[in-house]
Chain A
Amino acid sequence: MPRAGCRGPPRRPAAGPRRIRGIRRRCRLPRLSWITVPAPVIVARDLLKRYGDFAAVDGISFEVAPGESFGLLGPNGAGKSTTMRMVGAVSTRTAGELSILGLDPDVYGPEIRSQLGVVPQADNLDTELRVRENLLVYGRYFGLPGRLVAKRADELLAFAQLEEKGKAKVDSLSGGMKRRLTIARALINDPRVLLLDEPTTGLDPQARHILWDRLFRLKEQGTTLLLTTHYMDEAEQLCDRLVVVDKGTIMAEGTPAELIRRYSSREVLEVRFGSDRNAEVAEQLALRHGQGPVGERMEVLPDRILVYSDNGEAELVRITDAGFHPITSLVRRSSLEDVFLRLTGRSLIE
């Protein structure tokens, strides 16, 4: 006998006892597997999105566990936003498997989206409405009762530090405030998963830190976060685990610390000899075989040379001892930027 409506694991009740009984009568499923192992919230396998001949996303696979904070790090045009739109059950995939909360977005789009909060790359707040109205209107889309939406709107305005701005016009808000309002809007349905597409791009440092603080609180509360960014510091701050994406494919996967350990050295020495001399000096440094190579590896960028080593200061001493005197020098910890550079040969932000 066919079991209509019994896809995926058994469900938690959300619409009151009547609904539960209905579900339990219809669906008797094995119980062991899903009690012990938390099922991933998002499963993508060989996900593909084509626009004509161009594959924006070219066979991406990843899983996100409940409560995890997962990042897609990559430059502009890497396919991050397209991936987010597919996970957001908005853009339809060309091929591959995709399951969000155990459901196929091609069939259960509204159901999936009812559990997501989405912060798009470009704000799409309704500028014809006031700040608080944006939350009220959006909350209704989820079929939530008006009174509940109004209560949440006030709480979220406080969360987003916008209490004073409830009646303000959207256009009068600063970029950071708009971003926070967009996040508040994304939280109006108390989502299980929050999708953030470059949440802090274009914000000043202070606005970014306020935003990170808010996102960190959500993470602490157990909200699953999926975010894209081309800022490595953001990925380091917010992501438990991430994939490095370039040209629609995954280059590497791991925790920020793992990736740095695997693909970079502990420290990086940055030296500048002037943009016309960097390449030449790097060549000479590389040729000094007699005295041993400089660092584990070198990257020459137009404006500076990066020397990868476990001890940046020692490398600097060796370089100056060899008679090269950089205009400026800086020793820093390795970052995901270096990982990206190693993996793709290009910088994240041009």
Chain B
Amino acid sequence: MSAVPSVTGAALAAGRKPRRWGAWYVALHRFRVMKSYTGTVVVAGLGSPLIYLYALGVGLATIVDANLGTEAVDGVSYLVFVAPALLASAAITVASEEFTYPVMLGYKWNPTFAGMSASPLRPTQIVDGVILSVAIRMLVNLVLFFALILVFGAAPSPMAALMIGAGLLGGIAFGAVLMGYTSTLEEDTGQLAMVMRFVVLPMTLFSGTFFPLSVFPIWLQWIGWISPLWHSTELARVFSYGYAEPIWLTIVHVAYLVALTLIGWAWARRIAVRRLGR
């Protein structure tokens, strides 16, 4: 067998693994970076649910339940009502941390994405890898959160564990769109801070998180309908305590979140291809 000295052949062979696993390599890189703030992830992952569950689910719940009875909202205690919403918004918080500044960092401030795109990785794989790594980090946070909810005895349904999936879907749906948006920014002149203040915060307040959306007049309820958090919260409630809603609405929640995920993801990939291939 004659060894044919062709660099072309070597290239064709060496391209196969990165073509298949590139996104995973990016995720491995991201994990290594996240490792440097593991402490923050764990402390925030356990600490903030603890604080929220205690403050709202126990503190505020005492007043709510005292005034309206223990079946005040949706026929369950306030703690049970609010717990799935807190879990869903924890996913949104992770998304708003990981899909803003780290993305800006990768494109511009410490352009690691440029470094990646000089390797066999493709721009689309960079996007996939970032989303994958955040999804896994988010999953860890949500599992911790769910464990605490169980400790508080705030998830009566046997299907309650599925609310982790609902939270994850909501977080990634919002995150993918957010990543698309962040990717379009050539310069951060405060846009990301505005997103936090005028998108994330109002979304948390107006998505049926702390009180049902039905409390609002109908002309304000649209905020909830377009909010990924409202959809993931409602979905989480269905799983957590069997919140009664028509089945078509449950399907709408899933469909809406899947659609947002796909749109945001495709948008982020498109920008990556354009921006890194200039």
- A108 and B8 alpha carbons, distance in the complex (Å): 10
Residues of B within 8 A of A9 (CB): 6, 8
Of residues A17, A90, A110, A113, which shows the largest number of chain B Cβ atoms within 10 Å of its Cβ? A110
Contact indicator A90/B117 (Cβ below 8 Å): yes
Q: Knowing A142-B18, A143-B14 touch, does A10 contact B118 (C-beta < 8 A)?
A: no
Contact indicator B1/A20 (Cβ below 8 Å): yes
- A24 and B3 alpha carbons, distance in the complex (Å): 10
Task: Determine if A114 is an interface residue (Cβ-Cβ < 8 Å).
Answer: yes
Q: Knowing A120-B118, A124-B115, A128-B110 touch, does A103 contact B32 (C-beta < 8 A)?
A: no
Task: Determine if B22 is an interface residue (Cβ-Cβ < 8 Å).
Answer: yes
Minimum Cβ distance to chain B for residue A13 (Å): 6
Residues of A within 8 A of B1 (CB): 17, 20
Contact indicator B7/A141 (Cβ below 8 Å): no
Of residues B10, B28, B115, which shows the largest number of chain A Cβ atoms within 10 Å of its Cβ? B115
- A8 and B10 alpha carbons, distance in the complex (Å): 13
Q: Which of B119-127, B236-244, B249-257 contacts A (4 or more CB under 8 A)?
A: B119-127
Contact indicator B12/A111 (Cβ below 8 Å): yes
Interface size of A in residues (CB-CB distance below 8 Å) = 55
Residues of A within 8 A of B197 (CB): none
Contact indicator B110/A126 (Cβ below 8 Å): yes
- A308 and B15 alpha carbons, distance in the complex (Å): 52
Residues of B within 8 A of A10 (CB): 4, 6, 8-9
Q: Which A residues between 1 and 17 are near B, CB-CB below 8 angstroms? A: 5, 7-15, 17
Residues of B within 8 A of A13 (CB): 3-4, 9-10, 13
Which listed residue, A88, A110, A115, A118, touches B10 by the CB 8 Å rule?
Answer: A115
- A110 and B14 alpha carbons, distance in the complex (Å): 9
Residues of B within 8 A of A101 (CB): 7-8, 11
- Chain A interface helix/strand/loop/mixed: loop
Task: Determine if A129 is an interface residue (Cβ-Cβ < 8 Å).
Answer: yes
Contact indicator B115/A126 (Cβ below 8 Å): yes
Contact indicator A137/B8 (Cβ below 8 Å): no
Interface size grouping (class) on chain B: 35 or more
Minimum Cβ distance to chain A for residue B232 (Å): 30
Residues of A within 8 A of B115 (CB): 120, 124-126, 138, 185
Residues of A within 8 A of B196 (CB): none
Residues of B within 8 A of A125 (CB): 115
Contact indicator B6/A110 (Cβ below 8 Å): no
Contact indicator A108/B6 (Cβ below 8 Å): no
Residues of A within 8 A of B117 (CB): 90
Of residues B21, B22, B25, B276, which shows the largest number of chain A Cβ atoms within 10 Å of its Cβ? B25
Task: Determine if B184 is an interface residue (Cβ-Cβ < 8 Å).
Answer: no
Contact indicator A114/B18 (Cβ below 8 Å): yes
Which listed residue, A110, A118, A126, touches B112 by the CB 8 Å rule?
Answer: A126
Contact indicator A19/B13 (Cβ below 8 Å): yes
Of residues B6, B32, B119, B122, which shows the largest number of chain A Cβ atoms within 10 Å of its Cβ? B119
Given contacts A112-B11, A137-B28, 10 further A-B contacts (CB under 8 A): A10-B9, A102-B7, A103-B8, A110-B22, A110-B121, A110-B122, A111-B14, A115-B11, A141-B116, A143-B21
List 18 A-B pairs, Cβ < 8 Å: A11-B4, A14-B14, A20-B1, A20-B3, A90-B276, A102-B6, A102-B8, A110-B18, A124-B110, A124-B114, A126-B115, A137-B32, A140-B25, A141-B26, A142-B14, A143-B17, A143-B18, A192-B10
Show the binding face of B for A, using Cβ within 8 Å. 1, 3-19, 21-22, 25-26, 28-29, 32-33, 36, 110-112, 114-122, 276-278
